Structure 1
Amino acid sequence: MSDIAWLTEGPIAHRGYHDMNKLVWENTLTAFQRAIEAGFAIECDLHYAADGVPVIFHDDDLQRVCNLPGQLRDRSSAELGLLSIGGTRDHIPTLKQLLQLCGGKVPLVLELKGRKADDEGFAESVIEVLEGYKGHVALMSFDHWLLKDLKLLNPPYPIGLTAEGTNPDTFFLHDEAMQLGLDFISYFHGHLPNPFVTAQRKRGIPVITWTARDEAARRHSFAHADQMTFEGFDPRESLALVS
């Protein structure tokens, strides 16, 4: 893997630079445009629509974000593209739409959200959409089967483990994933420091955190990792330490 110093150069906007779903909702083109204008890298979530198209959405179901019953994966990307997010003018975007909007202006950190025994072709579809894109991209997942699928495709992008946990059994599973030859880790800031992450950083593996929501979390992230994924504040501003 080529140099990935860009991954830790600046703060990463969690699901785009939204306002905690007040007016600008998570994982929308509006939130991504705000991040681009602010110069923040963008983290977002990918799901696999019924027609095999990667779409940007976090939850398995549509209730919280779209106020509708049902599973996201039961609908095509065209159907999903008609659904309002949070009652706003934004709709569920595809990965292709994000790439067209971003155009390489800021880095993208894409998390694949798996569903066990239902992800055949998911990794391939993401790599296919990314083909020819000019810009920094990193791929990551909690799901080891998706990480294996991505590694088998040998894409020209860093691949990382999204993770959390504080007990030895969990660390064993994380170590098992790292044996795939992963390039970075995204870890829950509240579970740092821990022996697994400390050992990986000593190996030279970059570590970013999720999800810092205040100044205390920012400081904790930079005490134990190399960069943070954030939401709910502007990391360019100096914030009072949260007690």
Structure 2
Amino acid sequence: MALAIAVIAGTAAAPASPTSASAGHGPLELGPAHSTAPDEVSELEFPTTISHRGGADVYPEESMEGFTASARDGFLPEMDIQFLADGTPVLIHDDTADRTLDGVSGKVRDLSLEEWNSARIKHPNGGPTAETVTLDEALDELGGEVVMVPEIKPGATSAEVDQVLDVFDERGLADSLIVQSFDFAAAKTIADRGYTSLYLTGATLPTESFDEIAAAGIEWVGPSKDLPTRDLRRLDKAGFHVAPYTLETSKDGHRLPGWIDGFFTDDAWTN
């Protein structure tokens, strides 16, 4: 895994400007002529750039504009899965609506689908707001077209983990997803179900042994960027793909050691 720093396939050319989408012109068209991010995990080149929350410092957080722009420009769109009152999986990082949404407030699990659809996602730089996104809507737009990196958020029940994986199964997405969780049991279930599993950890090494993580079928580990380099290297030498979170820009990610296989960034466009 000791590979030279490089961007993923198709991104050697300068990325398109994010201006048009961030100006509120709606979701970008994604087709063969525009999509530069790989559509299968097996096609990834390292280090791969993961566009955290769809580029939360550039686009409205977890918006279709951010997801499609990320894919178009060669980055893997990352998103967080929470659940509404009726069990609908939706894409939002926090378990409350207040920080990122206009028009609704309170716990996401208390919102109806009607309330969710009526809300708007705030723009990080004061630009136009964007529509909220359900998991199904994101998969309708991008499923199988680009490697996506969804996180099943802490607090999801085992039944909800299975519910999300069932949705992925129905769409035949096992080859085109890296599915994340901070919960070891959930990360193991993800691997057991045949998905590439990324176990998110913190600024210290996980409590599970490397052998235990590997035996669970987990291939990727996502530690905090604050984990000491010596410990990042230990994870790498143990055979895991290592992808720290969250770098401010891609420029910061490209300063990482060459054996790092990926990184999460809130601004994948600034090199």
Q: What TM-score, normalized by structure 2, do the two folds share? A: 0.72
- Cα distance between partner residues in 1 of 2:47 and 2:137: 25
Structure 1, unaligned runs of 5 or more: 238-243
- Cα distance between partner residues in 2 of 1:181 and 1:146: 12
What CA deviation, in whole Å up to 9, does each residue of 1:63-103 have, x standing for no partner?
Answer: 10114431001123443122111174523211111111114
CA contact (8 A) 2:188 2:218 kept: no
Q: Does 1:127 align with 2:162?
A: no
Q: Which residue of 1 aligns with 2:101?
A: 66
Structure 1 counterpart SS, 2:166: helix
Q: 2:141 corresponds to which letter in structure 1?
A: L
Q: 2:75 corresponds to which letter in structure 1?
A: F
Shift of 1:179: 5.0
Q: Which residue of 2 aligns with 1:185?
A: 221
CA contact (8 A) 2:47 2:263 kept: no
- Cα distance between partner residues in 1 of 2:68 and 2:206: 37
CA RMSD of aligned residues (A): 2.7
**What does 1:149-188 correspond to in 2, within 5 Å?**
149-151=189-191, 154-166=192-204, 171-173=206-208, 175=210, 179-188=215-224
- Cα distance between partner residues in 2 of 1:142 and 1:174: 15
**What does 1:6-155 correspond to in 2, within 5 Å?**
6=44, 8=46, 10-18=48-56, 20=57, 24-67=59-102, 68-86=104-122, 88-115=128-155, 119-131=157-169, 132-134=171-173, 136-151=176-191, 154-155=192-193
Q: 1:93 corresponds to which letter in structure 2?
A: V
Instruction: Choose between structure 1 and 2: higher helix proportion.
Output: 1
Percent identical among aligned pairs is 22
- Cα distance between partner residues in 1 of 2:159 and 2:130: 27
- Cα distance between partner residues in 2 of 1:48 and 1:71: 10
Deviating beyond 6 angstroms after TM superposition, the runs of 4 or more aligned structure 1 residues are none
Structure 2, unaligned runs of 5 or more: 1-39
Q: Structure 1 residues 96 and 34 mapped into 2: Cα distance closer, same or farther (>3 Å)?
A: same
- Cα distance between partner residues in 2 of 1:110 and 1:174: 25
CA contact (8 A) 1:4 1:158 kept: no
Shift of 1:5: 5.8
CA contact (8 A) 1:51 1:76 kept: yes
Residue in structure 2 matching 1:200, options 231, 235, 253: 235
Q: 2:74 corresponds to which letter in structure 1?
A: G
Q: 1:138 corresponds to which letter in structure 2?
A: I
- Cα distance between partner residues in 1 of 2:236 and 2:71: 29
Higher relative contact order (CA 8 A, sep 6+): 2
Q: For structure 1, which segment, 94-103 or 5-14, has the greater mean C-alpha deviation from structure 2 after superposition?
A: 5-14
Q: Structure 1 residues 123 and 219 mapped into 2: Cα distance closer, same or farther (>3 Å)?
A: same
CA contact (8 A) 1:148 1:180 kept: yes
- Cα distance between partner residues in 2 of 1:174 and 1:16: 32
Q: Structure 1 residues 8 and 128 mapped into 2: Cα distance closer, same or farther (>3 Å)?
A: farther
How many pairs does the alignment contain? Answer: 224
Structure 1 counterpart SS, 2:138: helix
Q: 1:150 corresponds to which letter in structure 2?
A: I
Q: 1:95 corresponds to which letter in structure 2?
A: L
